[in-house]
Amino acid sequence: MKKILFLISLISIQINAQDKAAPTNFQGNVLPIKGFCIAAPRSAGVTDFVNFIEDGLAPRSVNTLILRVDWNYRYKSHPELRDSGALSKGEVKKIVAACKKNNIRIIPQVNLLGHQSWAGRIGNLLKAYPQFDETPAVMMPEKYVWPNPDGLYCKSYCPLHPEVHNVVFEVIDEICDVFEADAFHAGMDEVFYIGEKQCPRCSGKDKAELFAGEVRTIRDHLAASGCELWIWGDRLIDGKTTGMGEWEASFNNTYRAIDMIPKDVVICDWHYELPHKTPVYFAMKGFKVLTCPYRNPASAVLQAQDMVRFRTSSSREMRERFQGMIQTVWSGAEQFMDSYYGRRIEKETNNPVECFKALYGEIKRLEDAITE
Ligand SMILES: [Zn+2]
């Protein structure tokens, strides 16, 4: 009898578990977010890019476009930060209109905190406001090499400088306004310089607290106007314990910030070589998470399968946090479009165009299989 009761209770637990985990009525919503992330085109590339939205993104049901704008916009609030030949308001509106027509949500990105220089070139923010530099004593080299004695990957701004947010917030507000955005991507990846000894404000402070403080400051500013904050996830992963290293995870102790930042920050979890299972980690911490491949088609296919499996085999609470996939492109928009339209031949078979096609082919296959 005991055995029968035990069996009955086992069956009922199983039914209960199946009920809770069952992929109930996805209605084509297998992955809520099907994304694409790329640098905003320069002025001359806008027409081509609008065509790509129509014939590259829309037919694949891409519904989210992260556009890395940075200083490629003619900011009215801060003309000193504009790139030369930056996008005009009219050009941005052409992109906005094409996305609106195709039900694509645009999320503009300006790299905040880290990535304030690239190779031997200082970024526009620190060029105009050198006082915001976290490491003013580190000079930009004439010929950049990695590794280097300064540990210079990219410059950071000092998150505790009393004036930095006056500038940053005006930039955020203007870019969200012109893109008619309800979410903003702040980058915040690969922050190597943070809490540096030479900074009179940050020296000796906990790097995780500094990182979390900056996330919270930006999040709170956005939340006041109903805007979501999206960031890259690498600083929130322990690079040593996971073996993921100092690029796609953190070697400078910022990873504890995962328990210090608001749960409504959306995490873009990039992994380009292996389909790490980190979305589960972020989801279990309460965050919405997106997996972001780049140029490895085989890995991207596995990542898409994982994302669907996470959604179909999780509790209702967890399922809603596994939001989908974002194809990430790190070349300029022009270079990607040249490859996509066959005007440029890629030497490597692992490249963003092939990855994009493989990822969206697999997403379609998975959606068809699950909705049949
Ligand atoms: Zn500082």
pLDDT digit string (tens) for 248-291?
A: 999 999 999 999 999 999 999 999 999 999 999 999 999 999 99
Ligand 1 centroid to residue 113 C-alpha, Å = 10
Ligand 1 centroid to residue 262 C-alpha, Å = 22
Contacts of 198 (CB under 8 A, 6+ apart): 135, 136, 137
Ligand 1 centroid to residue 175 C-alpha, Å = 25
Contacts of 167 (CB under 8 A, 6+ apart): 78, 81, 125, 129, 132
Ligand 1 centroid to residue 115 C-alpha, Å = 15
Residue type, 295: R
pLDDT for res 349: 92
Contacts of 156 (CB under 8 A, 6+ apart): 113, 114, 116, 134, 135, 191, 192, 193, 194
| pTM for the whole structure | 0.92
The pLDDT tens digits of the residues spanning 298-336 come to: 999 999 999 999 999 999 999 999 999 999 999 999 999
Determine the average pLDDT of the residues in 69-73. 98
Ligand 1 centroid to residue 170 C-alpha, Å = 21
Ligand 1 centroid to residue 201 C-alpha, Å = 5
Ligand 1 centroid to residue 229 C-alpha, Å = 22
Determine the average pLDDT of the residues in 346-361. 97
pLDDT band at 19 (very low <50, low <70, confident <90, very high): very low
Residue 227 to residue 41: CA distance in whole angstroms:
24
Ligand 1 centroid to residue 114 C-alpha, Å = 12
Could you check whether the bond before residue 41 is cis, i.e. omega within 30 degrees of 0? Answer: no
SS3 147: coil
Ligand 1 centroid to residue 204 C-alpha, Å = 10
Q: Six-digit token pair at 93?
A: 């509106």
pLDDT for res 371: 74
Q: Six-digit token pair at 78?
A: 């801060």
Residue 346 to residue 75: CA distance in whole angstroms:
35
Residue 104 to residue 72: CA distance in whole angstroms:
21
Ligand 1 centroid to residue 157 C-alpha, Å = 7
Ligand 1 centroid to residue 187 C-alpha, Å = 18
CA 315, 318, 319, 320: dihedral to nearest 10 degrees? Answer: 130
Judged against a pLDDT cut of 90, whether residue 113 lies above it is answered with yes
Ligand 1 centroid to residue 198 C-alpha, Å = 8
pLDDT band at 18 (very low <50, low <70, confident <90, very high): very low
Judged against a pLDDT cut of 90, whether residue 202 lies above it is answered with yes
Determine the average pLDDT of the residues in 42-54. 97
Ligand 1 centroid to residue 165 C-alpha, Å = 13
Strand partners, 327: 36
Judged against a pLDDT cut of 60, whether residue 4 lies above it is answered with no
Determine the average pLDDT of the residues in 154-175. 98
Ligand 1 centroid to residue 135 C-alpha, Å = 8
pLDDT, averaged across the chain: 93
pLDDT band at 370 (very low <50, low <70, confident <90, very high): confident
